[in-house]
Chain A
Amino acid sequence: MASDQPSNPQDGLTTTRDDSLVKPIIVANSTWTPADPTAYNGGQPPQITHLRELELGDKSDNGRWGALDVIPTKADYVLDLIRINSLWPLLSGLACCAMEMMSAATSRNDMDRFGMFPFRASPRQADVLIVAGTLTTKMAGPLVRLWEQMPEPKWCVAMGDCTCSGGRYKRSYATVEGIDRVMPVDVYVPGCPPRPEGLIYGMMKLQQLIKERRGHWPERHIGPTVPIGV
């Protein structure tokens, strides 16, 4: 289930569109040829050999970490509504986006109003992992370890272009293109860096998502939402 599609589309927001006029325009790539001829045919699964333990064998959370020992109960349906207003982020500012995250947390654009003031230092006490900044292959291991140390329920926000898809470092030899290759992501906040208001919008989207998905948080997938070969 894609994480950005609500289960119950609200009435009044659906419109009938004439799709014949808005067909996507596909331009064949003629400016360069990829070195790998199978690049745009589904390609190969990313062999992140350096991070072999994190290979994308299983797409669902359950398979990856064994059967989830935490079973969401009926209480979680209500508790998720309460958790929305007190999501505690983990300080995971890696690079420039961390500056905007801190800016979103301080006086002018205040995230404290949403309950997100205490940026916990320890992953054991955090709810949300806001990954802000480029993820390099060296840092990927520690970051995934942080993610795994966070207790359920936990959510992940990919802030900035570098975490969404690799951004300006997509062709670099030392970065992971998008953290969705190594951890499940709930909200993508694009921008380089996104404005603090953008991050706050992303967090509000996360609140909406938790509300709509309440009780169903184990069902998430790791994997890029962009085709592998791109």
Chain B
Amino acid sequence: MKLWDKLMCTCRRRSPWLFHMNSGSCNGCDIELVAALTPRYDAEQLGVRLEGSPRHADILVVTGPVTHNSLEAIKTVYGQVFGPKAVVAIGSCPATTNVFIDSRTLDGPLNLHIPVDVFVPGCPPRPDAILQGVVKAAEILAARGNNLAVEPVVMPLVGPGCGADCACVKIAQRAVSEAGHE
């Protein structure tokens, strides 16, 4: 049984299937996510597949600052992804609502509504940062498995070249702490 669990852990780590959800994004991050699948970055090397149906997915990838209109859709789609699952927030918008902060049309940031495992900050983030975030999420997913009692690990993620004192790390950390207070 131990061997089977080990195998399952490896397989979950090596086969992350994504479902992409746009919550009012400006399309910048969406384009970068698609760029991650192109020949230059080739996410399929890591076993990544962009799925058409949320039922097939393991990782829900969300872009955009969570508008009023998209909130119910996000909750529905999050429920449609079967566990074990993880959520990756791509761009600064789902993490902090970015330049749209205090807008009356927004319900963001995303982690007020669904548990987010990995933030990939940037406006937009580079495709390699997105890939790094997806791999991180797959590792979290594999380690967590079906054990839903374990709290999701919130992990601010940096782009290549970002140090610990980089602004994007601080923004993501602040978003996490603010979400905790409310």
Q: State whether these chains interact.
A: no
